[in-house]
Amino acid sequence: MAPSAADTGLQVTHDGVVYAAEEVAHGAAYELFSTEEVDGFQRNPRPGSAFAWHRFVHVTEVTAVQGARDSAEVLEAPLMIPLNRARGWHDIHALSQTPAYAHDPTVAGIRRTAAIRRGTRMIKVLSARQLSGYLRGWLPYGFCYREHDVAHLRTPADLALLRTDADAGRDNPDVIYALRWRAADLYDFEIPLGDNHRGLGGMPAHDRVGPPVLGTGFTPSGRHIIPEFVTTDLADLPLPANATLLAYTPDGTEVVLYTYQPEQRGWLRMVGPQWRHLLAGVPDIAPDQEYVPSDEKNKSTRLVGRYRGQEYEAVADPPGEFRVLAMTRAARYPVEALSRRGAYARWRGVDCMVLRQESGWTRLRMCRPDSDGVAALGAQCYERGIYEAWAPAAEITDHRMVDIEYVLT
């Protein structure tokens, strides 16, 4: 709870003024405090705070930091924007929000500076319904962000910009949820840039959920330049160890609700009684329970490791640990090779990921959605960029298992 900045002595220089501060997201952003009203600051709603005003700023908005604690955390490479007299920030922002500039080399060059490495913290903002889905077995998929790029967005009002669902207006406005996990491999993610996922950019409003896909690689925003990612082929990704489900409150507090433990194959409750009211609006969830999904054997994707010539289910704990999935510590051998295995198929000429099979029917997710494919499959949009349909199993062709090899160093 702030104002611990007064105790730590951390001070940050922003716009030429030194403020007491608190580190956010391992140094990707800072919460600044002031005893007086300052332009851009908001009332600090925390009771008993010594500072009446506060605001969150990204690390790239800070010119100096004094009193910071040493950290082993490696900061992500920031988004690099070449500003000059001819082309300022507002010009770049306009380019990032204009689909006609999806092929502009300046836009593409800027976008590619925000790169994912093994161990990058990724985040996906969730509705209450989506949070319930992850507790019951969903895997990371679809649109997401590097935590580094959105660390300054800490309140439900600010984070609502990143929602992918159609539940806005039905959820409690005083809380928003998120899934955070570490990237196991950079090849698990794509940039929706230019011709990559071109069909999403041309999707009419009546066939999509959430804001449009601009094709510039940036999320639609009137204020920010935020690089966005999608999982490769819009596929599910295996949950790594220590993924977390989070809640954010109006004062910018981040609350860890659950942590994923792969050996137990479930979400362990981390939140204390004082925060359980944050789960009151989540459908079909009891705040005092832990959750172990019952369909682990039917996952659409999993990690497969090889150890001494044998194949085992594996678990990732990025950036450096990839091991055999085992209950006993002695059996958690480091794997010698690793791959992500998923099922793919074609239906009516459209490439899809196979999610599950039930009673002669197959649940499919389109890998490269476009209007023609959506019409051919009768697919429905369930969240931004995600189109799924049920297909008769007998009509499925080219049903295959695909192993995507990770390079272990």
Distance CA 121, CA 114 (A): 13
pLDDT-based confidence at residue 2 (cuts at 50, 70, 90): very low
- Can you give the residue ranges of every domain in the chain? 5-66, 94-279, 296-341, 342-404
Distance CA 309, CA 41 (A): 59
Residue of higher predicted confidence among 4 and 109: 109
Distance CA 208, CA 211 (A): 8
pLDDT-based confidence at residue 297 (cuts at 50, 70, 90): low
DSSP symbol at 379: -
- Please provide the average confidence, as pLDDT, over all residues in the chain: 93
Query: Would you say 118 and 321 are in contact if contact means Cβ atoms under 8 Å apart?
Result: no
Q: % helix / strand / coil in the chain, to the nearest 5?
A: 20, 35, 45
pLDDT at 289 over 60: yes
Residue 231 CB coordination number (10 Å) = 22
pLDDT at 364 over 70: yes
**Dihedral (C-alpha) 371, 372, 378, 382: value to the nearest 10 degrees?**
-30
pLDDT at 296 over 70: no
Please report the pLDDT score of residue 49 as a whole number: 87
pLDDT at 12 over 80: yes
